Amino acid sequence: MEFRAPRGTRDILPSEIGRWQHLESCFQELCRLHGFEEIRTPLFEHTELFSRSVGEESDIVSKEMYTFLDRGGRQVTLRPEGTAPVVRAYLQRGLASQPQPVKLYYYGPMFRYDRPQAGRYRQFHQVGVEMYGAGTPAADLEVISLCTSFFNRLGVNGAELQLNSVGCSRCRPPYRERLVSFLKPREELLCADCRRRHRENPLRVLDCKRPGCRRAITGAPLLAEYLCRECSEHFLALLRLLDRSNIPYRENPYLVRGLDYYTRTAFEFVPREGNDSGSLGGGGRYDDLVEYCGGPATPAVGVALGVERILLAMGEPEGDRYSPGVYIACAPGEEEAEVEALSLARELRDLGVVAEPELTGRSLRGQLKLANRKGYRRVIIIGPRELEQGLFTLRDMVGGSQREYSRSDLLAEVTRPVSGPNSE
Ligand SMILES: [Zn+2]
Ligand SMILES: [Zn+2]
């Protein structure tokens, strides 16, 4: 019998985990510096949370959710995105009564039944932040600039910030009507999805990537022309803040994002180089969602970024060939040497040094080969002669030079940081 992982999932192997951990710690550190605190919500929620907040007509809810009945007959869904669960926790757990703004971040797997392709998985990962109780353009800027700092620190170049205003519950409905009547005579051009949804959610047609839909919206009225005064002022103030913060951006009047809950600011980070793995992530303002979910009227803004896509955009890291730790080789079959190797390993770990003792009983030659393959530059060798004289051999795998040390000198030597691979 041969088991294989389900389509659209992947294993994150030890050889790649370093990049993941680097990305995660970079994000955590930036969130900490910006005053965001971590929240961890369940991987599944009641289906209704997503269908109501993300929107029945959205692609996510209509065709991408992992929904099932549990053994108690409840309909639950593996979370397809992070915002709705955080809003639910914000309301259910009393965060709404804490001093505002409440600033939260999350990291973890999300699930969508989507066509797997480069950088797109059915179990994928997102990092995201949510800010509740701040409605100013400055709050939008904080969230956007956290993202640009994140990309800078990771060395992700060429992520273009695109943004738009999708208006509010006052100015969007009249625009929506205009758009519906504009699209009506062009209905044959639309793809099947857009034909189905253009009456319910005509804005979605604006960011459909299919050629027919692109043609259908040529000359369409733009939401920018219909924004109410407050929405328009908010957007212009955000653009001024971005200018003064030296954050480059491009206005994209067709950007609406795939979720129904956005109001006013919507933004996305799009790779400039022609690759179709899609955006690195995006977000925006969702001033009505908390109230819609049963809470008090609360302005909110957030972002979610796709970890797999960012890792693709990061390119290859400069490999550090050598591990900073030590491998402890010992003469096979010598119990005394083994005991010494294990105790030395414990002592080194207490001093903060990565230490891996021999565990398989292979030959000394085989152990050195293994240490080399695992990238250890330094190997401690414990044999019968060393045990007798109370000395330890330290071998430098780069030049092959060896020196003998007393136990205390050895500890001092090994806890000293290693210099570059070509020194000596
Ligand atoms: Zn408005
Ligand atoms: Zn379409």
- Confidence band for 418, pLDDT divided at 50, 70 and 90: low
Q: Please state, in angstroms and rounded to a whole number, the distance separating the CA atoms of residues 82 and 84.
A: 6
Query: What residues make up the domain containing 399?
Result: 323-415
Edge-first strand listing for the sheet containing 37-38: 37-38, 102-111, 123-132, 300-306, 281-285, 263-271, 159-165, 250-251
Q: Tell me, what's the pLDDT at 196?
A: 81
125 and 269 inside one domain = yes
| Contacts for 273 with CB less than 8 Å, ≥ 6 apart | 158
Q: Would residue 270 count as lying in a domain? A: yes
- Confidence band for 128, pLDDT divided at 50, 70 and 90: very high
285 and 360 inside one domain = no
Q: Would residue 108 count as lying in a domain? A: yes
Q: What percent of the chain has pLDDT over 70?
A: 95
Q: Under DSSP, is residue 33 helix (H, G, I), strand (E, B) or coil?
A: helix
Q: Residue 62 carries which DSSP code? A: I
**With 0-12 CB in 10 A as exposed, 13-18 as middle and 19+ as buried, what is 296?**
exposed
Domain-terminating residue out of 287, 314, 341: 314
* pLDDT at position 419 over 60: no
From the CA of 198, which ligand is nearest? 2
* Phi-psi label, residue 76: left if phi above 0, alpha if psi -120 to 50, beta otherwise: beta
| Rounded distance from Cα 65 to ligand 2 centre (Å) | 20
Task: Enumerate the β-bridge partners of residue 32.
Answer: none
Q: Please state, in angstroms and rounded to a whole number, the distance separating the CA atoms of residues 203 and 206.
A: 5
- In the block, tokens 């990565």 appear at 354
| Contacts for 311 with CB less than 8 Å, ≥ 6 apart | 19, 20, 23
What is the tens place of the pLDDT at every residue in 270-315?
987 655 557 899 999 999 999 999 999 999 999 999 999 999 888 7
Q: What percent of the chain has pLDDT over 90?
A: 68
83 and 129 inside one domain = yes
- Confidence band for 35, pLDDT divided at 50, 70 and 90: very high
Residues 113 and 62: beta-carbon distance below 8 Å:
no
Q: Which of 398, 411, 388 is nearest to 328 (CA)?
A: 411
Residues 108 and 307: beta-carbon distance below 8 Å:
no
* pLDDT at position 354 over 90: yes
| Rounded distance from Cα 226 to ligand 1 centre (Å) | 8
| Rounded distance from Cα 201 to ligand 2 centre (Å) | 12
* pLDDT at position 422 over 70: no
Q: Under DSSP, is residue 139 helix (H, G, I), strand (E, B) or coil?
A: helix
| Contacts for 409 with CB less than 8 Å, ≥ 6 apart | none
Q: Which of 61, 57, 59, 37 is nearest to 47 (CA)?
A: 61
| Rounded distance from Cα 203 to ligand 2 centre (Å) | 11
Where would I find the beta strands (DSSP E) of 172-299? 250-251, 263-271, 281-285
| Rounded distance from Cα 95 to ligand 2 centre (Å) | 39
Counted domains in the chain: 2
Q: Would residue 3 count as lying in a domain? A: no
| Rounded distance from Cα 229 to ligand 1 centre (Å) | 7
From the CA of 208, which ligand is nearest? 2
22 and 73 inside one domain = yes
Q: Which of 267, 252, 260 is nearest to 83 (CA)?
A: 260
Q: Please state, in angstroms and rounded to a whole number, the distance separating the CA atoms of residues 307 and 299.
A: 27
| Rounded distance from Cα 136 to ligand 1 centre (Å) | 14
State CA 255 to chain mean position distance. Answer: 22
| Rounded distance from Cα 81 to ligand 2 centre (Å) | 22
263 and 394 inside one domain = no
Q: Which of 228, 127, 251, 210 is nearest to 173 (CA)?
A: 228
What is the tens place of the pLDDT at every residue in 388-401?
888 999 999 988 89
257 and 380 inside one domain = no
| Rounded distance from Cα 282 to ligand 2 centre (Å) | 20
Q: Tell me, what's the pLDDT at 275?
A: 54
- In the block, tokens 């950007």 appear at 255
251 and 338 inside one domain = no
Domain-terminating residue out of 314, 335, 366: 314
Q: Count how many Cα atoms sit within 13 Å of the Cα of residue 368 in the half-sphere of its side chain.
A: 13
Q: Which of 274, 276, 225, 228 is nearest to 253 (CA)?
A: 225
330 and 276 inside one domain = no
From the CA of 229, which ligand is nearest? 1
H helices of 35-136, where?
Answer: 47-53, 59, 83-92
From the CA of 170, which ligand is nearest? 1
| Rounded distance from Cα 165 to ligand 1 centre (Å) | 9
From the CA of 192, which ligand is nearest? 2
| Rounded distance from Cα 163 to ligand 1 centre (Å) | 16
Q: Please state, in angstroms and rounded to a whole number, the distance separating the CA atoms of residues 132 and 228.
A: 23
310 and 385 inside one domain = no
Number of C-beta neighbours around residue 368 at 10 A: 18
305 and 327 inside one domain = no
Q: Please state, in angstroms and rounded to a whole number, the distance separating the CA atoms of residues 83 and 257.
A: 14
Task: Enumerate the β-bridge partners of residue 391.
Answer: 406
Domain-terminating residue out of 314, 342, 358: 314
From the CA of 265, which ligand is nearest? 1
Residues 158 and 275: beta-carbon distance below 8 Å:
no
Phi, psi angle pair for 122, to nearest 5°: -80, -30
Q: Would residue 50 count as lying in a domain? A: yes
Q: H or E element: which one contains 103?
A: strand 102-111
Q: Tell me, what's the pLDDT at 259?
A: 67
**With 0-12 CB in 10 A as exposed, 13-18 as middle and 19+ as buried, what is 323?**
middle
327 and 306 inside one domain = no
| Rounded distance from Cα 234 to ligand 1 centre (Å) | 9
Residues 43 and 123: beta-carbon distance below 8 Å:
no
What is the tens place of the pLDDT at every residue in 320-334?
667 779 999 999 888
Task: Enumerate the β-bridge partners of residue 115.
Answer: none
Q: Would residue 193 count as lying in a domain? A: no
- Mean pLDDT, residues 367-383: 93
| Rounded distance from Cα 205 to ligand 2 centre (Å) | 6
What angle do the packed helices 137-154 and 307-314 form, to 10 degrees?
Answer: 50
In this structure, which residues have their CB less than 5 angstroms from ion ligand 1?
167-168, 170-171, 228, 231
| Rounded distance from Cα 226 to ligand 2 centre (Å) | 23
What is the tens place of the pLDDT at every residue in 141-180?
999 999 999 999 999 987 899 999 999 999 999 998 999 9
| Rounded distance from Cα 341 to ligand 1 centre (Å) | 70
The gap between the terminal CA atoms of the chain, to the nearest Å, is 52
Amino acid at 361: G
| Rounded distance from Cα 212 to ligand 1 centre (Å) | 30
Q: Under DSSP, is residue 223 helix (H, G, I), strand (E, B) or coil?
A: helix
What is the tens place of the pLDDT at every residue in 65-111?
999 999 999 999 999 999 999 999 999 999 999 999 999 999 999 99
The CATH number given to whatever domain includes residue 341 is 3.40.50.800
